[in-house]
Chains A and B, each alone.
Chain A
């Protein structure tokens, strides 16, 4: 188990919001960027990315539009103002949570 990619199913929407905070992006690139920025630690099946994107869009945290890129039609996603606020909240909560866990684990060493 150790050293293997981590399952982070519940955090995927937050990571998508974080990725989109850097600018509009499409599904494939979002998946690759999340995997690359975590240096392969965070891995997920790419088929689960789209339900997460559609869920965020239904909650109006992101919007989407179809654009042509290199002769191919692609759906690009963009963070909304509501999404930006949700991301700020999620980030704050995660930092508090991970800070507490790190503190406890350091104490144990």
Chain B
């Protein structure tokens, strides 16, 4: 069974021989509303260009070839269109998050953050630090900070859940996407903080058969792994959020493709 959309199932044409092939190549990875808009505009443009070449005395086939050549490289145009419009992949990523929020996925996310925070707090033995000043160089581990993050996440989780139950519009999608990004960032910060805290505090599990070195190496690898995941995913999210912010209502599919 082929799950690819119709436009992506056709074989890739490297050198378009006519307008239909040029448009296929230039728009194949874009969401259907963007494809429709570009097709309509370029079809009119092409018709005008053919007409102009015919008036200059070209034959019908020469006029069509010249108008196609005037459009230039379809792959270069495709690259530029991908920068300006949502691609099918990006719409799926957004749809996945909106649908997850609709299924109270963000509340689950918030619970996960609470769970991680609790683990962090117990790991750091908050009783030791509970009354230490916040700005003694370890303010990130200070319980008030953790509590604040938990409250923010719970609030954001509820807000996203309420938003997701409303009718899906571009504005709602943008809000849910922003909330999702913030919550994931907090979760990522907490994960790194946990590993860093363990690395700084050293051996905390005397009952386990791990040496101090193994724990330190494990935490170091954990931080490295988390950073390798965090940096590219957040960069991709940043680009997608920028695109969503400038997207037009008619550019966005009414029901984003559900990746679930």
Contact = CB atoms under 8 A, between A and B. Distances in A.
B232 interface: no
B128 interface: no
Contacts of B74: 47
A55 B77 contact: no
A59 B246 contact: yes
A51 B41 contact: no
A48 B84 CA distance: 12
A70 B142 CA distance: 70
Contacts of B83: 51, 55
B70 A54 contact: no
Contacts of A57: 248
B46 to A, nearest CB: 9
Interface string B62-106: 000000001111101100110111000000000000000000000
Given A47-B77, A48-B72, A50-B41, A28 B49 contact: yes
Contacts of A31: 45
A68 B109 CA distance: 50
Interface in B36-70: 37-38, 40-42, 44-45, 47-49, 52, 70
A85 to B, nearest CB: 18
Contacts of A28: 44-45, 48-49
Contacts of B42: 47, 50
Contacts of A24: none
A18 B41 CA distance: 21
Given A73-B44, A75-B40, A55 B73 contact: no
Contacts of B49: 28, 46
Contacts of A58: 84, 246-248
Interface of A: 26-28, 31-32, 44-48, 50-52, 54-55, 57-59, 72-75
Interface of B: 22, 26, 37-38, 40-42, 44-45, 47-49, 52, 70-74, 76-77, 80-81, 83-85, 246-248
A-B pairs, 9 with minimum CB distance: A45-B72, A51-B80, A58-B246, A47-B77, A47-B71, A28-B48, A54-B84, A47-B72, A28-B45
20 contacts: A27-B41, A27-B45, A28-B44, A45-B70, A45-B73, A46-B49, A47-B72, A47-B73, A48-B76, A48-B77, A48-B80, A50-B38, A50-B81, A51-B81, A58-B248, A72-B44, A72-B47, A73-B40, A75-B37, A75-B44
